[in-house]
Amino acid sequence: MRTAMLLSIALCLAPAGCAKAQASSTAPIRVEGATAMLLASGTGVFYGRIFNASDSPDRLRSAAVPQAAFAQLHETVNDAEVSSMRAAPTGFPVAAHATLKLAHGGKHLMFFGVKNPDKVSALHVLLSFDRAGVVAIDAPITHGIAQ
Amino acid sequence: MSDTSCTSALLFGLASALVSCARQPSTQTSTWFDHDPAPAIAGLRVNDGRPFRLSDQKGSAVLLSFGYTSCLELCPDTFATVHRVLNALDAQAARVRFVYVTVDPERDRPEPFAKFMASVDPRFQGIFLDQQRLLPVLSAYHVTVRKRVPDPESYARRDVDPTGYYTLDHSSGFWLIDPAGRLRARFLHEAPDAEIVSGVRTVLQEPN
């Protein structure tokens, strides 16, 4: 009887234990403040704050914009004289319990070749993380240069 | 004319000459030059499709900048700075021209470039030069332009050739040309608005 009771308790606890194990192996990613700027040429940029709520570091490896022909993670670098937008082909790290900011003047996602840009009201972005997998975001769009 | 009047006139003329020849002190974000003519720029003003010559801007101060329409990080800041500077200049802004030369003639063709400039500010003059005419201008103004082409192997989507989706590193900030057509100063991107406003006011107030 006691053995059966102990076994029952173990069985009841096991699913919760398994769920916890799964939770610790999944890196929950939250994206806040997602926004995009889109020009009439079909070129644009996506910004947002990416929070890694897990106990493990992750990496934003790449990003895609299905509405665009091409998308590329970049980082803006300004030396005293020359401004560069440099590709980040291996993406950006996101430390555990930390925020990766994709923001103006720094890291960002640039995309090209959106067709009929004036008809696009939201940008669909797929962020690919090493641990968290693909996170989909819909970002509101500002048409034209935001000043 | 009496001796005193002659002396006064001479001193006034000397003082004026000294003021107009005085070079402003350079800072970490600005460099002032001798009073040499600004290197010529002749191209197409995309706003109205008419020929543009920098020398035709005499009588106005010119803030000159180089960029391209797919520059979505730095160039919006440049435009915002110009707006703030013009606002700060108030009535004097009527004597200032902002001239923006594209360093991407391959993609910034006149018609889409014109639409872009109109969307930013119709007062801002967008200038198109073909590659052959652009290169000597870049050289004369010591403008750096570097093309960064995506490596197709780095991207999973192989049904698109990404080499057309390049970005361009380019020199940022402004060149200031005075109403007499002389290149007077270079302001870096980080130059405070007040520094640019002061510089523009200086050249506007000089006797020509």
CB of B170 less than 8 A from some CB of A: yes
Maximum distance among all Cα pairs of chain B, rounded to whole angstroms: 87
Local confidence band at B157 (pLDDT 50, 70, 90 cut-offs): low
For residue B71, list chain A residues with Cβ-Cβ distance below 8 A.
83, 85
Per residue in B53-102, pLDDT (tens digit) is 999 999 999 999 999 999 999 999 999 999 999 999 999 999 999 999 99
N residues, chain B: 208
Whether residue A101 contacts residue A49, with contact meaning beta carbons closer than 8 Å, is answered with yes
The residue in chain B having the minimum alpha-carbon distance to the alpha carbon of residue A75 is B73
For residue A72, list chain B residues with Cβ-Cβ distance below 8 A.
150, 155, 162, 165
**C-beta atoms of B119 and A40 within 8 A:** yes
**B9-36 burial by CB neighbour count: b if 16+ within 10 A, else e?**
eeeeeeeeeeeeeeebeeeebbebbeee
The residue in chain B having the minimum alpha-carbon distance to the alpha carbon of residue A47 is B73
Average pLDDT in the B149-157 region? 66
Of residues A39, A82, A105, nearest to B73 (C-beta):
A105
- Which helix H or strand E contains A53, and what residues bound it? none
The residue in chain A having the minimum alpha-carbon distance to the alpha carbon of residue B173 is A81
**C-beta atoms of B72 and A81 within 8 A:** no
Say if residue B134's pLDDT is above 90: yes
Question: Tens digit of pLDDT per residue, chain A (147 long)?
Answer: 555 454 444 444 443 333 222 233 355 899 999 999 999 989 999 999 999 999 999 999 999 999 999 899 999 998 878 999 888 989 999 999 999 999 999 999 999 999 999 999 999 999 999 999 999 999 999 998 865
Interaxial angle between packed helices B193-205 and B74-89, expressed in degrees from 0 to 180 and rounded to the nearest 10: 50
The ipTM is: 0.80
